Amino acid sequence: MSFGNWRLRCDDCGCFIGKNNTHFGGVYFGGPEDMEPPEARYLCDKCEAAEIAEARKSGRMPTRWVTADWEAPIAAELGFRWAALPGAAWGAWRRELPDGWEWVEVPDELK
Protein backbone atom coordinates (compact mmCIF):
# COMPACT_ATOMS: atom_id res chain seq x y z
CA MET A 1 0.00 0.00 0.00
CA SER A 2 1.30 3.44 -0.88
CA PHE A 3 0.53 6.22 1.54
CA GLY A 4 2.13 9.07 -0.42
CA ASN A 5 1.61 12.18 1.67
CA TRP A 6 -1.52 10.83 3.28
CA ARG A 7 -1.58 9.85 6.92
CA LEU A 8 -4.10 7.34 8.10
CA ARG A 9 -6.01 7.62 11.32
CA CYS A 10 -6.72 4.59 13.46
CA ASP A 11 -10.35 3.54 12.94
CA ASP A 12 -10.72 2.83 16.66
CA CYS A 13 -9.02 5.66 18.58
CA GLY A 14 -8.48 8.20 15.79
CA CYS A 15 -4.75 8.73 16.35
CA PHE A 16 -2.53 9.27 13.32
CA ILE A 17 -0.69 6.14 12.25
CA GLY A 18 2.36 5.76 10.06
CA LYS A 19 3.01 3.18 7.39
CA ASN A 20 5.19 1.11 9.73
CA ASN A 21 2.61 0.72 12.48
CA THR A 22 -0.59 0.39 10.48
CA HIS A 23 -2.42 -2.89 10.90
CA PHE A 24 -5.22 -4.17 8.70
CA GLY A 25 -8.16 -4.59 11.04
CA GLY A 26 -10.50 -6.50 8.76
CA VAL A 27 -13.87 -5.54 7.29
CA TYR A 28 -17.15 -5.90 9.17
CA PHE A 29 -20.31 -7.19 7.56
CA GLY A 30 -22.58 -4.47 6.30
CA GLY A 31 -26.18 -4.07 7.33
CA PRO A 32 -29.38 -3.62 5.31
CA GLU A 33 -29.26 0.15 5.92
CA ASP A 34 -25.80 0.54 4.37
CA MET A 35 -25.72 2.30 1.00
CA GLU A 36 -22.23 0.94 0.21
CA PRO A 37 -20.13 -2.02 1.34
CA PRO A 38 -18.33 -1.43 4.64
CA GLU A 39 -14.81 -0.06 4.48
CA ALA A 40 -11.62 -1.76 5.59
CA ARG A 41 -10.44 -0.87 9.10
CA TYR A 42 -6.89 0.17 9.89
CA LEU A 43 -5.62 0.12 13.45
CA CYS A 44 -2.70 1.55 15.41
CA ASP A 45 -0.39 -0.71 17.46
CA LYS A 46 -2.32 0.00 20.66
CA CYS A 47 -5.77 -0.79 19.26
CA GLU A 48 -4.58 -3.96 17.50
CA ALA A 49 -2.99 -5.12 20.76
CA ALA A 50 -6.28 -4.39 22.56
CA GLU A 51 -8.22 -6.56 20.08
CA ILE A 52 -5.73 -9.39 20.52
CA ALA A 53 -5.88 -9.06 24.32
CA GLU A 54 -9.69 -9.15 24.19
CA ALA A 55 -9.65 -12.32 22.06
CA ARG A 56 -7.22 -13.99 24.48
CA LYS A 57 -9.21 -12.87 27.54
CA SER A 58 -12.62 -13.86 26.18
CA GLY A 59 -11.45 -16.95 24.31
CA ARG A 60 -13.59 -15.80 21.38
CA MET A 61 -12.72 -14.77 17.85
CA PRO A 62 -14.46 -11.90 16.06
CA THR A 63 -16.88 -12.52 13.22
CA ARG A 64 -16.10 -10.34 10.24
CA TRP A 65 -16.44 -10.42 6.48
CA VAL A 66 -12.66 -10.09 5.98
CA THR A 67 -10.34 -11.22 8.77
CA ALA A 68 -7.84 -8.88 10.41
CA ASP A 69 -4.12 -9.57 9.99
CA TRP A 70 -3.79 -10.71 13.60
CA GLU A 71 -6.59 -13.26 13.52
CA ALA A 72 -4.98 -16.34 11.93
CA PRO A 73 -2.03 -16.67 14.36
CA ILE A 74 -4.15 -15.86 17.43
CA ALA A 75 -6.89 -18.25 16.29
CA ALA A 76 -4.30 -21.03 16.04
CA GLU A 77 -2.99 -20.14 19.50
CA LEU A 78 -6.51 -20.31 20.96
CA GLY A 79 -7.37 -23.60 19.22
CA PHE A 80 -9.61 -22.22 16.47
CA ARG A 81 -9.61 -23.26 12.82
CA TRP A 82 -11.49 -21.80 9.85
CA ALA A 83 -14.62 -23.76 9.01
CA ALA A 84 -17.26 -23.32 6.36
CA LEU A 85 -20.28 -25.01 4.88
CA PRO A 86 -19.32 -26.77 1.63
CA GLY A 87 -19.66 -24.32 -1.24
CA ALA A 88 -20.07 -21.29 1.01
CA ALA A 89 -17.91 -18.25 0.22
CA TRP A 90 -17.59 -17.35 3.86
CA GLY A 91 -16.84 -19.28 7.05
CA ALA A 92 -15.97 -18.65 10.69
CA TRP A 93 -13.37 -19.40 13.35
CA ARG A 94 -14.51 -22.53 15.18
CA ARG A 95 -13.16 -24.85 17.83
CA GLU A 96 -15.66 -27.58 17.00
CA LEU A 97 -17.16 -28.43 13.66
CA PRO A 98 -20.92 -27.72 13.38
CA ASP A 99 -23.01 -30.33 11.55
CA GLY A 100 -22.34 -30.23 7.82
CA TRP A 101 -19.37 -27.84 8.09
CA GLU A 102 -15.84 -28.65 6.95
CA TRP A 103 -12.39 -27.48 8.02
CA VAL A 104 -10.98 -25.37 5.20
CA GLU A 105 -8.16 -22.91 4.63
CA VAL A 106 -9.12 -19.25 5.02
CA PRO A 107 -9.79 -18.10 1.44
CA ASP A 108 -7.24 -15.56 0.20
CA GLU A 109 -9.95 -12.94 -0.37
CA LEU A 110 -10.95 -13.13 3.31
CA LYS A 111 -7.48 -12.44 4.71
Determine contact, residues 106/81, Cβ cutoff 8 Å: no
- Site residues for Zn ion per CB under 5 A: 10, 12-13, 44, 47
| Closer to Zn ion by Cβ: residue 21 or 105 | 21
State in angstroms the smallest separation of the CB of 85 from Zn ion.
34
Q: CB count, 10 Å around CB of 8?
A: 16
* Closer of 10 and 110 to Zn ion (Cβ): 10
3-state secondary structure 25-83: CCECCCCCCCCCCCCCCEECHHHHHHHHHHHHHHCCCCCCCECCCCHHHHHHHHCCEEE
Distance CA 52, CA 41 (A): 15
Q: Which is nearer to Zn ion, 13 or 97 (CB)?
A: 13
- Give the nearest distance from C-beta 47 to Zn ion in angstroms: 3
Q: Minimum CB separation from Zn ion for residue 45, in Å?
A: 8
Closer of 16 and 89 to Zn ion (Cβ): 16
Q: In the complex, what is the shortest distance from the CB of residue 106 to Zn ion, in angstroms, rounded to a whole number?
A: 25
